[in-house]
Amino acid sequence: MGNIGAVQSPGIRLDVEWADDAAWRHSHDKPYVSWKDFQMTCNVGWNHPFFTYFLLVACTAALITSYGVNGWTIEPLSVNPMIGPSAHALIEMGAKQTTLIVEMGEWYRLFSPMVLHVGLMHYFLNMTALWFIRQAVKQCHGFAAAVILFVLPAVGGTILSAIFLPEYITVGASGGIFGLIRACVADICMNWSLLFSKHVNALDKGVRFRHIKVLLWLLFDIVINSLIDLTPFVDNFTHLGGMVYGFLCGLSTMEHLSMDFFGIAMTFWTRVQNVFIQFSPYTEHCPHHDHHQRPCGFGRWRSNSVPWLPIHFVHAVLTVGQRGQQVVTL
């Protein structure tokens, strides 16, 4: 399954936050900070991808342990095409199985599937997707938001799967990854009027075009994901839960960007001041700005986001034992 737009969508927010910061520095007579320097400041402290590192370590340890539980053997490709252990080993490791959750009270199975994978191929593809998506999300929203936007959708998707698909054994991180993607959509919806404002993007028409392009890719992702969810042997309730929880968590945790600095929500006195500013001698220097000092107005827009990368998830079904239990990978 391809997910492309989510890799760059938080870069839209970074563009606007940089412009907001440039406007604030200009109005408070502070030194100008270039886009590249501003981007570097977003990668310090808790904005480092600590949670992603933890997930990578946890998923790697869980995969190795699952091979150990399976007797350090790999199932035949006819049984497990993802080069991994048996379904029994995955159940021992904590895969989602509704009967064990409800009747045996093993509630940890609502959390453990997010770090389990059905095999090497499934592991590498999901970790690649997580790596690029977390780079965008954490850079703009920080450690706490990344944890919430991954864990809650992953658990919510598992709950929906346990209710509506109790016969399936489910493992995989796609519920959390879907949550991160839909949180990006929520971010765009919350700040639509600012991100696609002709007023804010007046100095560089290309920025608005790039923002629209990212939005179109996100819409394309949603359509592709929806079509894949209609195919057999895909735990679409886990995906649906990840989408819904991710969107709602995005609405509740992501910061709404202020429009005041860009003159879109100006008060009466601000408008009066702008009339005088427009005729002040200062405006004569704006056309001669040399781009080495503070920018005139909003500064100059730039976008050096992560390159477009296709990311694929794997959905595999394993038929194991005489009971015909099926494992759905996410």
Q: Do 310 and 29 touch, CB atoms closer than 8 A?
A: no
Which one of the listed residues 9, 86, 161, 174 is annotated catalytic? Answer: 174
DSSP category for residue 70: T
DSSP category for residue 258: P
d(CA 42, CA 140): 7
Instruction: List, in sequence order, every beta strand (DSSP E) within 97-233.
Output: 168-171
- List alpha helices for 94-119, DSSP H: 98-102
Burial (CB count <10 Å: 0-12, 13-18, 19+), residue 206 = exposed
Which one of the listed residues 117, 122, 141, 239 is annotated catalytic? Answer: 239
Distances from the Cα of 198 to the Cαs of 25, 30, 175, 202, 206, in angstroms? 22, 26, 36, 6, 11
Q: Do 218 and 289 touch, CB atoms closer than 8 A?
A: no
Q: What token pair was written down for 141? A: 């929203």
Q: Which of 220, 246, 249 is nearest to 308 (CA)?
A: 220
- HSE, CB side, 13 Å, CA atoms: give it for residue 118: 27
For this structure, is 239 an active site residue?
yes
The residues carrying an active-site annotation are 174, 239
